[in-house]
Amino acid sequence: MTNINEKLHETITEMQNKILEIEDIASKNQQLASPHNAKRIEEIKNNTVNTIKEAIVRLEELVQHEQDEHYLETLFAKIIAKTKEATQYTIQKINDIKNNTDLHTALHDLKQQAQGIYTDPKVQGFVDSLKKETVKVYHDINNYLKSEKTQANIKKAKVKTVELAQKGVNALDRFLNGKDASNE
């Protein structure tokens, strides 16, 4: 059982080293991240570290009850492999968070900039004059379309359109019925 106790100690030491590695990387990246991203890094770190710590406790309990040395040696190897895998995954997620712009912060900054622009007196004056000009153009177009002259021209255009359409129908009818199209 001494051999198993040594292997247990090696396994636990390896797992504790991975915890230290995760904590070190998380700490360094939290210092560089926005407050929002630093919180996300802390959550990811805590989830993985707590899982590894819980695995250590369960492993110690299991060794007290399990007698099959081969099973335990295989289990230790699997646990170390899974711990390394979890560590790499956690480090990758921490780096992803650090490298990505914090969308929440970016949107907040953009909103503040937009508000700052809109409250600028020059911009506000331009926006107000643009609104007035848009209303004026709308009314001018509306008045033009409602004028008697424009309405008369619209009616003439409608009559001419109907006349042209009728001539087209008549020409098509003569063509389809074999009559000479040049009679009209």
- Confidence category of residue 128, pLDDT binned at 50, 70, 90: confident
**CA angle (30 as vertex; 26, 32 as ends), nearest 5:** 125
- Confidence category of residue 125, pLDDT binned at 50, 70, 90: confident
- Confidence category of residue 11, pLDDT binned at 50, 70, 90: very high
* Exposure string for 70-86, b = 16+ CB within 10 A, e = fewer: eebeebbeebeeebeeb
Yes or no: say if 15 and 87 are a contact pair by the CB < 8 Å rule: no
Q: Which two tokens stand for residue 131?
A: 């609104």
Is it the case that residue 103 has pLDDT exceeding 60? no
d(CA 177, CA 23): 92
Residue with structure tokens 């040594």? Answer: 6
Instruction: Write the pLDDT tens digit of every residue in 141-167.
Output: 778 778 898 888 888 888 888 888 888
Contacts 24+ apart (CB under 8 A), 7-15: 7/72, 7/73, 7/76, 8/59, 8/60, 8/63, 8/72, 8/76, 10/76, 11/59, 11/76, 11/79, 11/80, 12/56, 12/59, 12/60, 14/80, 14/83, 15/52, 15/55, 15/56, 15/79, 15/80, 15/83
Q: At what angle do helices 2-32 and 69-99 cross, to 10 degrees?
A: 0
Q: Which two tokens stand for residue 14?
A: 């390896």
Mean pLDDT, range 68-96, rounded to an integer: 89
Q: Considering the entire predicted model, what is its pTM?
A: 0.55
Instruction: Write the pLDDT tens digit of every residue in 19-70.
Output: 999 999 999 998 888 888 889 899 999 999 999 999 899 888 888 888 888 8
H or E segment and range at residue 180: none
Enumerate residues 6+ apart whose C-beta is below 8 A from 182: none
d(CA 16, CA 22): 10
